Structure 1
Amino acid sequence: MSNSKTHILVTGASRGIGKAIVESLVQDNVSVVGQSTAGDDDLLAADFTRDGAAGLLWQQALERLDGRIDVLVNNAGLFQPNPLAADDWLESWDRTMTINLTASAELCRLAVLHFQQHDEPGRIVNIASRAAYRGDSPDHWHYAASKGGMVAMTKTIARAYARNGILAFAICPGFTMTGMAEDYLESRGGDKLLADIPLGRVAQPAEIASIARYCALDAPPSMTGAVLDANGASFVR
């Protein structure tokens, strides 16, 4: 990145991976604004199930960051079971897609337009999932599909705008010790799932955050389009 102060927007920053990313980025040459649904702890509030929420968040972040955003980190996501026989299956599918993929796409679009308008380089870091490649449980079709879409979108952005200095990266964590993963591990039998991870444990949020920080600030331009796995060798491509 340039020597000037880097301005970064991170979604889903109230806990888990997003909170760890913000904490990893707080340093002298970086100014970070985070988002959460409720907007607690000085975070900007944005409920991505509401029409226009992504655009409003972008404008509020620009105001907070002196009119410039250099890096977008899309981390906000929903991971809830959606059994095939559920009466509200389609509603649950749409909600997950809206939060995990559509809101991220809206913000990516705004970021690319912003970078182009100012004729400046910029970076996008999308937090996807191992599920994008491996798939997920029978109750999580929607989650796997949303993360697969995020990876495809990231690759498309990287290919389309690299000549303009607009770089895009995707990170695909496996199980990470967040509130969502803890509930899932407990419900699915943690010991059995851990046995499928050669490393013998799930990732810590700080580990994923260190990868996100690298992509946001230090990764060389030739890495654009890269999809980085962090799953303890539970899925190796």
Structure 2
Amino acid sequence: MTDSPHILITGSTRGIGAAIVEALTGRAARVVGHGRTDGADAVGADLAEAGAADRLWERALERLDGRIDVLVNNAGVFEPIAVDAPADEWQAAWGRTLQINLQASADLCRRAVLHWRERSVAGAERGGRIVNVASRAAYRGDSPAHWHYAASKAGMVAMTKSIARGYAAEGILAFAVCPGFTMTGMAEDYLSSRGGDKLLADIPLGRVAAPQEVASTVAYLALEAPPSMTGAVLDINGASYVR
């Protein structure tokens, strides 16, 4: 990888994403983030819309002078839908969650693979890195109101492994991290609504993860992890689920 990698991070305006930006900025990297609206260091895109991921890639590529070396897929939603909800609401909730959490990530991974292949053909530096932020739910499942969330994150893990196996010979590396509860606004709301003490009792460490803990792991995978680690999925869940 180049000494000064160009990095695109989705969902970077708060929580884990903001911590990832902080962890990577200043480490010999140019970083472009992503949010719902444009900002000085972020490209605006609503990933719930079909085609938005491709538009995000093009605009980020322009900001990064035509080169992206690392893609971090962090954007996601965690929205409940009851099993007895009306069918149209149920299907809309599944469609939205899978579109944002999985399809948009897949679209960006596809663009990254094609970009790195094009650069290799042109004689530029070979390969690049993808880091997908999945979830403990990919392996453990989630609440009765979050089947779709768990399914989307399991899809991210399977996609990561497929990319790692399919493109390692081309220098294209893929990793995933699977956080459990992380102290962001989303987790705080969930903890308060579901009974925080009871949930914390299920975490041997006795607390949820800090965003910085997840971010430091993402930064390691993005910049330092040896190529032989490609395909690795790292857990950050306080031993609440041990594989």
* TMscore range, shorter length: over 0.9
Residue 178 of structure 1 is matched in structure 2 by 184
In the alignment, does 2:241 pair up with 1:235? yes
In the alignment, does 2:90 pair up with 1:84? no
SS, match of residue 11 in structure 2: coil
TM-superposed deviation, 1:51: 2.1
Identity of aligned residues (%): 68
* Deviation string, structure 1 residues 158-177 (Cα, Å, up to 9, x no partner): 00000010000000000000
The count of aligned residue pairs is 236
Residue 59 of structure 2 is matched in structure 1 by 60
Amino acid across the alignment from 1:126: N
RMSD of aligned alpha carbons: 0.9
C-alpha distance in 2 between matches for 1:227 and 1:86: 34
Moved over 2 A (4+): 38-42
| Alignment check: 8 A CA contact 1:14 1:40 kept | no
Q: 1:192 aligns with which of 194, 198, 222?
A: 198
SS, match of residue 111 in structure 1: helix
C-alpha distance in 1 between matches for 2:198 and 2:110: 40
C-alpha distance in 1 between matches for 2:41 and 2:116: 26
SS, match of residue 235 in structure 1: coil
TM-superposed deviation, 1:77: 0.1
Question: Equivalences for 1:204-215 in 2 at 5 Å?
Answer: 204-215=210-221
Amino acid across the alignment from 1:149: G
SS, match of residue 12 in structure 1: coil
Q: 2:175 aligns with which of 159, 166, 169?
A: 169
Residue 125 of structure 1 is matched in structure 2 by 131
| Alignment check: 8 A CA contact 1:70 1:122 kept | yes
TM-superposed deviation, 1:39: 2.9
* Deviation string, structure 1 residues 34-75 (Cα, Å, up to 9, x no partner): 001123453110101112111110010011001000000000
Question: Equivalences for 1:1-237 in 2 at 5 Å?
Answer: 1-3=1-3, 5-40=4-39, 42-87=41-86, 88-119=89-120, 120-237=126-243
C-alpha distance in 2 between matches for 1:148 and 1:50: 21
TM-superposed deviation, 1:28: 5.0
C-alpha distance in 2 between matches for 1:123 and 1:167: 5
Unaligned runs of 5+ residues in structure 1 are none
Relative to 1, partners in 2 of residues 1:111 and 1:136: Cα closer, same or farther, differing over 3 Å?
A: same
Relative to 1, partners in 2 of residues 1:210 and 1:28: Cα closer, same or farther, differing over 3 Å?
A: closer
Q: TM-score, normalised by structure 2?
A: 0.95
C-alpha distance in 2 between matches for 1:60 and 1:205: 27
